[in-house]
Amino acid sequence: MATVPVDIEPHSGFRLKKRLMPFAKVDKQLLQDRLVPCHELASHVAQWTSIRVGHKPDANWATLAIVERVIVGDEADQVLVAQLTNMRGVVFYAFVTGKAFKTYRDKIPMGTVVGVARPTILRPADVQAPVGLGVQNVHQLFLVGVSKDMDLCEAYVGSNGNEDDAKRCSATVDRRSGTLCDRHTIHMCGQSRNGRMELASGDSGIEIGWATTSVDRKNGRTNYQRLDAALATSARIKRTYTYIVPGKGPMNTMAKIINKTPTVDKAKVEKDKKAWTNFLDGRTDPGAMMIRKVKGIEEKKQVNVLSKEAFLKIHNKSKVDKEEEEKKVQSKEARQGTSLT
């Protein structure tokens, strides 16, 4: 039986089970921009955050990574956060907004090999936060293919030990190293150890983790060294980091805007105002007047049904009495003049 050749992306070394962009096009894209491997990303980005003397670093660079998780924010926010990794302990985040969000919202599921070109370097709010990149334009993100090696852990986890509603573990794994995540591998090894008397009676332990290899030039021996950054990956993934995203303000890796101004529903406010207006109609007590001020309701001007003379008689009798007295004097003088003639 003939062996099917594996498609290996030469720039990153990722194995592909499906290619989405032809090799020639990827090669052309990376000829325009300097390729920065994931493990060099932190030191490369530090050039923009540290104090420099002389020329600024070149902004024409790109990196390749695998999508490990995607979180889409609220519909009104128009943002998604992609957690990217090289499956060797390096994790960073891409905040996709603007036209890029509308184009790639449903096109970058877990396992997609993506390229990020000329991104905006985001300022983190946490000191030990991973690299955060901003992607606003369509050309800043390109899809290379689908990873052959990234998959979900095959273990199933039930809530409160109930296996009936068990769900698949959400941790990602490198299938070249196994089908279970570190936590479930340790659990399976513990179960196996309890079933073997020669291991159960001893005090030996087991530790699961990643290691780097190096070959000794003198004797050709392979040396294995513990990779602490990789061991802390699972704990780091569960943490939430905050970055300053252009046009959005502070936003965390759960695609939530920090200190977000509540959206005002004008129709609801108008409906509420109308209800209060009807309720307060005809009320003139101090409480009603205060509510009108708070809700911005204008008080209706009272229409007087009485004539001006009648109104003055009620509220300002002194002026009416004076006018009437003058009219009486004039009328009396007129009668006296008539009688003399």
Computed over every residue of the chain, the mean pLDDT equals 80
Rounded to 10 degrees, what is the CA torsion of 254, 255, 260, 266?
-130
Of 15 and 88, the structure prediction assigns the larger pLDDT to 15
pLDDT above 60: residue 263: yes
Angstrom distance (rounded) from CA 85 to CA 231? 14
DSSP code for 54:
S
What mean pLDDT is predicted for residues 245-257? 90
Find all residues with CB under 8 Å of 72, minimum gap 6, and list them: 79, 80, 105, 255
Band (pLDDT 50/70/90 cuts) for residue 229 is: very low
Q: What is the pLDDT of residue 104?
A: 94
* Residue range 86-137, pLDDT digits in tens: 988 899 999 999 999 999 999 999 999 999 999 999 999 888 899 999 999 9
Q: Quick one: average pLDDT of 193-204?
A: 59
Query: Which is it for the CA torsion 197, 198, 202, 207, positive or negative?
Result: negative
pLDDT digits (tens, 9 = 90+) for 30-61: 888 999 999 999 999 988 877 666 677 788 99
